[in-house]
């Protein structure tokens, strides 16, 4: 008889909530997904309705569990992975949020962050949290809600309110009031000292966040809580939680020092495991907790590209030169080069390692020979050039990469993966598993429930689907990167 035991992973992302049931061999056996509303109250503001996050999560849990059980799968435990930094504050008695979730992309607290930077606090914040002083992280979002919602600050100080990132909010709701977070999510709040693994009193004072709001921080695998009866998955334990990029790194078996992955979605996130050392970047990369299991804490260096898949979306919806993202591959292949055209997709500024919020995009090097194919190819190439810049910054910080594992929607573009290998001068490895983020959460849940022994068990479940080897010489690479740098120089404001 085949083993029909399985693990449920909840993947609560920025644009959709998903639930995937994995067999213990790591095969997805049921999947449900639901998109939810993006709320843009003002330019630069992004919110989610926490009730929609909750309802969509419950709906996909029910759908995936029903489908798996109908096929005879016995689900043993649950893991949660989530969009990171997104901030929710709720009433401890009613469980009702006092304001919408403020999403990680939201820039409303830029002035508060700039003020703290002008007062000279960034160095201390970086040393303790591994992060930059930026609206991206939760701390300034918490303060905004407390200052803007009448009575909220006093209620927070009186212990009547709870703060959580999305995993913490979902755990509270699913368990009927257990208030916990995990080390990876806590490391994105800008309130957590990643060196010692504690909420930091000085940071709480600096950002004006009362300690009474905070969840207890747990390792990534262990017994968090039971799902309350009457809810989807009622009675199941929750035994793993981690932020989405850390979960993807685990799902890609990047749990050893030196291993690295990049996830290509709307944006792209590169994480390099640095083992037990929290490496401080001299190039504006982030240092973050990769995972914490049974008293062992591992760190990662992280860099993000703001426009990856969104460049293709713009080529399709903004410019109208491709019908769908898949077209870009044939267009890129139809020409031998872009004829000197470079695109810098700084639609919303530039991310790591530049962090230039004011920069705006450009297409340079146009001639009468430039057509849609050159522009589409330049858009794809730009994604690889940005990866090369991130990797160069990581190397300058002492990372010695041997290969790059890739996942996310863009990785099915084989032409782009080859160009990426050429530009980063490393083997690029694409796994069979396309659901690495949810898979990482399932692995953590399996470890927390005692089904798996350790992260080493990921290895047996990670299978290469394709690899792309660098195929151009250093001079050709150098020439292309110089052209890119010249284009980049035209859009940078600093």
As measured in angstroms, the least distance from the Cβ of 434 to ligand ADP is 9
What letter would DSSP give residue 284?
S
As measured in angstroms, the least distance from the Cβ of 54 to ligand ADP is 20
Q: Are 75 and 8 in contact (CB under 8 A)?
A: yes
Task: Tell me the C-alpha distance between 315 and 317, whole Å.
Answer: 6
Q: Could you give the 3-state DSSP secondary structure of residue 466? A: strand
CB nearer ligand ADP, residue 89 or residue 344: 344
Handedness of CA 341, 347, 352, 355 (dihedral sign): positive
Q: Are 382 and 374 in contact (CB under 8 A)?
A: no
Dihedral over alpha carbons 452, 455, 457, 463 (to 10 degrees): 140
What letter would DSSP give residue 316?
I
Look up tokens 């522009």; give the residue: 375
Q: Are 302 and 150 in contact (CB under 8 A)?
A: no
Tokens of 228: 């309350």
As measured in angstroms, the least distance from the Cβ of 338 to ligand ADP is 16
What letter would DSSP give residue 434?
S
> How many CB atoms are located within 10 Å of the residue 1 CB?
3
As measured in angstroms, the least distance from the Cβ of 291 to ligand ADP is 21
As measured in angstroms, the least distance from the Cβ of 318 to ligand ADP is 12
As measured in angstroms, the least distance from the Cβ of 35 to ligand ADP is 10
CB nearer ligand ADP, residue 146 or residue 343: 343
163, with CB counted inside 10 A (0-12, 13-18, 19+), is buried
CB nearer ligand ADP, residue 163 or residue 468: 468
Q: How far is residue 398 from each of residues 189, 271, 279, 301, measured CA to CA in Å?
A: 26, 14, 9, 10
Task: Tell me the C-alpha distance between 383 and 385, whole Å.
Answer: 6
As measured in angstroms, the least distance from the Cβ of 70 to ligand ADP is 27
Look up tokens 């530039």; give the residue: 350
CB nearer ligand ADP, residue 14 or residue 181: 14
> How many CB atoms are located within 10 Å of the residue 418 CB?
20
405, with CB counted inside 10 A (0-12, 13-18, 19+), is buried
As measured in angstroms, the least distance from the Cβ of 266 to ligand ADP is 4
Tokens of 296: 């062992």
- The helix, strand and coil proportions of the chain, stated in percent and rounded to the nearest 5, come to 35, 25, 40
Tokens of 434: 């396309």
Peptide bond connecting 353 to the previous residue in cis, omega within 30 degrees of 0: yes
As measured in angstroms, the least distance from the Cβ of 138 to ligand ADP is 20
CB nearer ligand ADP, residue 287 or residue 413: 413
As measured in angstroms, the least distance from the Cβ of 407 to ligand ADP is 8
As measured in angstroms, the least distance from the Cβ of 42 to ligand ADP is 23
CB nearer ligand ADP, residue 16 or residue 454: 16
Task: Tell me the C-alpha distance between 213 and 151, whole Å.
Answer: 14
As measured in angstroms, the least distance from the Cβ of 387 to ligand ADP is 14
Q: Are 21 and 7 in contact (CB under 8 A)?
A: yes
CB nearer ligand ADP, residue 16 or residue 493: 16
Task: Tell me the C-alpha distance between 354 and 351, whole Å.
Answer: 6
User: Which chain residues interact with ligand ADP by CB under 6 A?
Assistant: 13, 15, 265-266, 309-310, 312-313, 325-326, 328-329, 408-410, 412-413, 416
326, with CB counted inside 10 A (0-12, 13-18, 19+), is exposed
As measured in angstroms, the least distance from the Cβ of 315 to ligand ADP is 9
> How many CB atoms are located within 10 Å of the residue 194 CB?
24
């Amino acid at each position: 008889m085949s083993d029909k035991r399985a693990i449920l992973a909840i993947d609560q992302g920025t644009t959709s909530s998903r639930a995937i049931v994995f067999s213990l061999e790591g095969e997805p056996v049921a999947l449900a997904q639901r998109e939810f509303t993006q709320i843009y109250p003002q330019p630069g503001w992004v919110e989610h309705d926490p009730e929609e996050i909750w309802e969509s999560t419950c709906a996909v849990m029910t759908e995936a569990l029903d489908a798996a059980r109908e096929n005879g799968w016995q689900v043993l435990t649950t893991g949660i992975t989530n969009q990171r930094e997104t901030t929710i504050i709720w009433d401890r008695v009613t469980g009702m949020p006092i304001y919408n979730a403020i999403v990680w992309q939201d820039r409303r607290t830029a002035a508060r962050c700039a003020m703290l930077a002008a007062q000279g606090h960034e160095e201390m914040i970086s040393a303790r949290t591994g992060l930059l002083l930026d609206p991206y992280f939760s701390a300034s979002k918490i303060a905004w809600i407390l200052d803007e919602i009448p009575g909220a600050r006093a209620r927070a100080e009186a212990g009547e309110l709870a703060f959580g990132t999305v995993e913490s909010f979902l755990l509270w709701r699913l368990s009927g009031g257990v208030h916990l977070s995990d080390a990876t999510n806590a490391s994105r709040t800008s309130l957590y000292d990643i060196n010692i693994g504690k909420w930091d009193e000085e940071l709480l004072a600096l950002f004006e966040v009362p300690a009474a709001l905070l969840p207890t921080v747990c390792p990534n695998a262990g017994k968090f809580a039971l799902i309350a009866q009457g809810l989807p998955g009622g009675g199941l334990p929750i035994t793993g939680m981690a932020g989405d990029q850390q979960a993807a790194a685990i799902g890609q078996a990047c749990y050893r020092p030196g291993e690295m992955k990049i996830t290509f979605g709307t944006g792209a996130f590169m994480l390099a495991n640095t083992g037990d050392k929290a490496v401080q970047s001299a190039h504006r990369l982030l240092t973050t907790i990769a995972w914490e299991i049974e008293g062992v804490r591992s760190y990662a260096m992280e860099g993000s590209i703001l426009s990856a898949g969104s460049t293709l979306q713009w080529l399709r919806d903004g410019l109208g030169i491709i019908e769908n993202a898949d077209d870009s591959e044939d267009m890129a292949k139809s020409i031998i080069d872009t004829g000197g055209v470079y695109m810098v997709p700084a639609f919303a500024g530039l991310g790591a390692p530049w962090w230039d919020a004011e920069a705006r995009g450009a297409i340079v090097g146009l001639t009468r020979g430039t057509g849609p194919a050159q522009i589409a190819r330049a858009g794809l190439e730009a994604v690889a050039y940005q990866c090369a810049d991130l990797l160069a910054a990581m190397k300058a910080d002492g990372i010695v990469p041997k290969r790059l594992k890739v996942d996310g929607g863009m990785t099915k573009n084989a032409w782009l993966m080859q160009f990426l290998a050429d530009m980063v001068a490393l083997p690029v490895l694409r796994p069979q598993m396309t659901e690495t983020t949810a898979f990482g959460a399932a692995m953590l849940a399996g470890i927390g429930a005692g089904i798996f022994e350790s992260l080493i068990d990921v290895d047996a479940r990670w299978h290469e689907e394709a690899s792309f080897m660098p195929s151009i010489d250093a001079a050709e690479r150098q020439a292309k990167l110089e052209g890119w740098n010249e284009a980049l120089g035209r859009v940078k404001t600093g």
